[in-house]
Amino acid sequence: MLIGTAAAAAVITAILVMRGQAGAEMLTLRTGFGETTTLKLHDGTEVWLNANSSVSYPRRWKSGDVRTVELQGEAFFKVKHAPEGLHPRFVVHTALTDVEVTGTAFNVYHRHDSAAIALEEGSVIAGGKHMRPGDLLQQSARGTTLTQSPDGGFSAWMEKRMVIRDGTLATVALRMEDIYGKSIRFGKPSLASLPFTGSAAMDQPELLLKAVCTVHNLKMREEDDTIILE
């Protein structure tokens, strides 16, 4: 098998930081390549964390504090609406954008200087735009777009499936690197722009690569921990 998935559990690390409230104790939950995990914050908010991602959050929020977490990678949030004694606002902060909610369910992706927010229910404000259920907000150096989220796309990983929709082989390569830490190289640069749509179970990513080879009549080999498609 060219790609193996990690079997170890995600690790929670406690750290002390100075952010907003002096001496606030922060916890950071990190997942490794091929791992996913779930978390319930003390306000009742549920978080599903995708592979190669991290979320930092206070052990406890104080009364009056805006509930804020920091995300790197990808996560799905089901936010608890206005818990008693806590601030009604909930903010997911990434290096590129903030997502502000009052009680909702949504997926946030932030990797490689691009972000995508897919709203499942409720309402959020992201990138200065008010989103409605089914909206997909995408941000990158090229600008911001607001469209409809494809069915079964951005949250498919929660059902242990990797979905590539209207992508390219470069999209496949990037996803393999992000989720499994595997480098993919193309025998010819032009192969990277070939179109591809497909899906596979997250614990069988090699099936996605085999589908790529079948669709485009390519061969696959491994060289020094790098998968080469040619």
Contacts of 128 (CB under 8 A, 6+ apart): none
At residue 6, the pLDDT reads 42
| Residue in 155, 179, 154 with CA at minimum distance from that of residue 167 | 154
Domain 11-148: state its class. mainly beta
This prediction has a pTM of 0.83
Spans of the chain, pLDDT less than 70: 1-24, 151-154
Domain 160-229 in this protein, CATH class:
alpha beta
pLDDT in tens, 168-209: 999 999 999 999 998 999 999 999 999 999 999 999 989 999
Judge if 11-148 and 160-229 fold alike in CATH terms. no
How many whole angstroms from its chain centre is CA 34?
12
Residue 64 · residue 107 · CB < 8 Å: no
Q: At what angle do helices 205-216 and 169-180 cross, to 10 degrees?
A: 170
Q: Where are the domains of the chain?
A: 11-148, 160-229
